[in-house]
Amino acid sequence: MSKGELTRQTIVDAATRVASRVGLGGLTIGSLAADTGLSKSGLFAHFNSKESLQLQVLDHASARFVDLVVRPALKAPRGEPRVRELFDHWFAWCRDELSAGCLFVAAATELDDQPGPVRDQLAKVQRDWLETIATVFATGISEGQFRADADPEQFAQDLYGVMLAYHHASRLLDDPRAEQRARRALDRLLEAARVPS
C-alpha cells in the first residue's frame, strides 16, 4: 500500500467515526477538517467533494460490516445457528461505536428523501443486507430445519424490524429490557419457521 493510500485510509476511518456521530449527510470536508485537525485543502486533494467523501465512508463502513457481521456468521453451521450468529454479530456491531455503530440505521432515515448517488449507494448496501438475511435464512429451508413454504424475504424484513425496534428502544428510550425483547422476538420468528417435530 502506498503512503498516499495509507493516509487516505486513515482519513476515511476517522471520517466514518465522525459520520457515525453527526450522520452521513452531516459529514462535510469542513466538519472533517475541524474534527481531525487536517487542512481543508489537504482533504480536498483526497476527496474532491463532499459527495465523494460520503461515498467513500459508505464503502468503508460496508466493508467493515461484511468483515465484522456477515463473514463470521457464514462460518457457523447452516440454518438456525447461522441466523443466530448473524443476529449476535449485528448486536455487537451496533454497540461498538468505533466501528461506526449504527451508521446505516441513522443514514437510512436521514437520506431516504434526498435523491442522489449517496442515497442510491446506501439503498444498494441495504438491499444487499436484507438479501444476506434472506439467504442465510434460506439455508435453513434447504437443510430441512425450516418449513419449505417459509418466505425468506418476509423473514428478512421481520428480522430487520426486530433490530430496528431494538435500536430505537435502547438508544432513544434507554430501555434496559430492549435486548431481552429483541431476543424473544427472534426466538418466536424462528419457532414459527421451524418444521414441526
Residue ranges in contact with a second copy by CB under 8 A = 21, 23, 102, 105-106, 108-113, 119, 122-123, 126-127, 130, 153-154, 157-158, 160-169, 171-174, 177-178, 181-182, 184-185, 188, 192
Q: How far is the CB of 11 from a second copy (least distance, A)?
A: 22
Alpha helical stretches, state H, 37-177: 40-47, 50-65, 71-74, 80-95, 103-111, 117-142, 152-167
Q: How far is the CB of 63 from a second copy (least distance, A)?
A: 20
Q: How far is the CB of 108 from a second copy (least distance, A)?
A: 5
> Measured from the CB atom, is 44 or 160 closer to a second copy?
160
Q: Provide CB contacts within 8 A for 120, sequence distance 6+.
A: none
> Measured from the CB atom, is 76 or 158 closer to a second copy?
158
> Measured from the CB atom, is 85 or 158 closer to a second copy?
158
Distances (CA, A) of 131 to 24, 100, 157, 182: 23, 21, 10, 21
DSSP state of 116: S
- 78 exposure class (CB count in 10 Å sphere: 0-12, 13-18, 19+): middle
> Measured from the CB atom, is 33 or 108 closer to a second copy?
108
